[in-house]
Amino acid sequence: MTEPAAKAVEVVELGKNYGSVTALKSVSFSIESGMYYALLGPSGGGKTTLLRLIGGFLRPSAGRIFLHGHDVSLLPPNRRPTSMVFQNYALFPHMTVERNVAYGLKLLRVPAGDIRDRVDRMLAMVGLEGYNRRMPHELSGGQQQRVQLARSLVLERDILLLDEPLASLDARLRKDMCLELKRLQEKVGITFIHVTHNQEEALTVADRIAIIADGELVEEGSARDVYETPNKRFTAEFIGDNNVLEGTVSDLSANSATLDIGFAKIDVPAPGVTIRTGERAAFSIRSELLRIAGRNEDISDSWQVVPARYVEDVYLGLTVSHLVQLPDGTEVVARVMSDSGENGRFEPGDDVAVGWPANRARLHLA
């Protein structure tokens, strides 16, 4: 019987302190080989620290890091099977594009002819054919990041670390580069670990996403799961455009909990959740699932409906956000496609009803 292939990355109770400041608290997770993995979270949450620990640029204060089953916790970056793309300023400004890309191969003492071939092939792969003689300052931001990619990929390492690689690019270029990165990863088939604070970027590129905040791994799952069915309240608040309402558990059944939110009792699916009556809890519902109707209109029986007052709409280009106020003063957002015309018939101050499919709400205990 063959052993199952070792995980590309396995992080066990990894921690990092800077004096009395804790940047990362005992984080554990693993990444399958060949996966595009995103570390997503707010700035200062510890995701770059985690990436730098995996890359060997920081010494862990606690825990261990295994790359393909080997403990590399205390090895320097040049002795790990990783390469890295930095946010910016990482090209060697005194070297041409060609010399930048060839640098790692020279260190490996690859014959000069092979270096030239591999550099040309890699520059073609990232769409920079013929840029060999250019200096880094003669390239645009997107081209510089592509050179960084080529420099990392040419080494044919197993794991590529990307530290906010698109953060300094304009919105359009960022979008294009996201797709390009995804395609590249599928082509080369190695493990990509991508740090970003931009949820759209993470959702575009990643097979799996880990949410990192306050030095902790909040939640981890496939991009779709993290977006559509977040387990933690933080995830719901951070990813997508979720409405979060709080209440007290007033009733329990086998697969659902009833939350008393003051002006209504809401049934929320709670399969396998351990919770007691009287406990405080919250639920989230994505803004694109909310619908607004007139107070006396019929909405499907399978929907939860609460009374509200229409406040205003905010045009966002692709979508329009409709703001309504619940009886306790909480404001919630219902988002629809701009050209759908949905919800557009209400005026500020109108009494309305707001509803959502009962089975799509997510219960959050903390």
Partner 1 sequence: MYDDFANPWTIRLKWAYLLAVVFALLMPVFYTIGISFNLHGFGARIYEFTFEWYRVVLGDTLLVISLKWTLYLALATIAATIPMALLSAKFYKRTRRKVAFVALMLSPLFVPADIMGSSLLVFFKNLAKGFAWLGQTLGVGWFDGWFDLGFLTAVIGQIIYTHPYAFIVILITMSRYRVQQTEAARACGANAWQAFWDVEFPQIRVGVFSSCAFVTILSFNEAVRTALLKGGFDTFSNMLVAQMLNIGMSGESYAMAGIMSIVSMIVIGTVIVYTLVRAERLERRARAMAEPVMSD
In terms of CB distance, is 155 or 249 closer to partner 1?
A: 155
In terms of CB distance, is 120 or 156 closer to partner 1?
A: 156
Q: Does position 140 bind partner 1 by CB under 8 A?
A: yes
Nearest approach in angstroms of CB 45 to partner 1 is: 20
Q: Does position 76 bind partner 1 by CB under 8 A?
A: yes
Nearest approach in angstroms of CB 35 to partner 1 is: 20
Which tokens sit at 36?
């595009």
In terms of CB distance, is 104 or 355 closer to partner 1?
A: 104
In terms of CB distance, is 84 or 282 closer to partner 1?
A: 84
Q: Which of 213, 290, 276, 221 is nearest to 38 (CA)?
A: 221
Backbone angles phi, psi at 210, to 5 degrees: -115, 130
The single residue listed with the structure tokens 């991508």 is 194
Q: Does position 109 bind partner 1 by CB under 8 A?
A: no
Angle at 233 between CA 255 and CA 44, to 5 degrees: 155
Which listed residue (27, 122, 169, 320) binds partner 1 by CB under 8 A?
169
Q: Which of these segments, 42-50, 76-84, 334-342, 348-356, binds partner 1 (CB under 8 A)?
A: 76-84
Rg (CA), the chain: 25
Per DSSP bridges, beta strands 303-315 and 351-357 are antiparallel
Q: Can you spell out the DSSP letters for 42-86?
A: -TTSSHHHHHHHHHTSS--SEEEEEETTEE-TT--GGGSSEEEE-
Nearest approach in angstroms of CB 309 to partner 1 is: 43
Q: Which of these segments, 61-69, 169-177, 246-254, 305-313, binds partner 1 (CB under 8 A)?
A: 169-177
Angle at 151 between CA 150 and CA 155, to 5 degrees: 100
CA distance 30 to 49: 16
Q: Does position 108 bind partner 1 by CB under 8 A?
A: yes
Q: Which of these segments, 134-142, 283-291, 315-323, 331-339, binds partner 1 (CB under 8 A)?
A: 134-142
Interaction pattern, residues 7-46, with partner 1; x per rule: CB under 8 A: ----------------------------------------
Tally of helices (H runs) and strands (E runs) in the chain: 8, 20
User: What is the total count of residues that contact partner 1 (CB under 8 A)?
Assistant: 39
Q: Does position 130 bind partner 1 by CB under 8 A?
A: no
Interaction pattern, residues 84-103, with partner 1; x per rule: CB under 8 A: x-xxxxxxxxx--------x
Per DSSP bridges, beta strands 291-294 and 351-357 are antiparallel
Q: Can you spell out the DSSP letters for 89-134?
A: S-S-TTS-HHHHHHHHHHHTT--HHHHHHHHHHHHHHTT-TT-TT-
* C-beta atoms surrounding 63 within 10 Å: 17
Which listed residue (117, 138, 328, 331) binds partner 1 by CB under 8 A?
138
Q: Does position 151 bind partner 1 by CB under 8 A?
A: yes
Nearest approach in angstroms of CB 176 to partner 1 is: 7
CA distance 341 to 60: 54
DSSP state of 330: -
Q: Does position 125 bind partner 1 by CB under 8 A?
A: no
Which listed residue (172, 274, 296, 329) binds partner 1 by CB under 8 A?
172
Binding region for partner 1 (CB under 8 A): 55-57, 76-78, 82-84, 86-94, 103-104, 107-108, 137-138, 140-143, 148, 151-152, 155, 161, 168-170, 172-173, 176
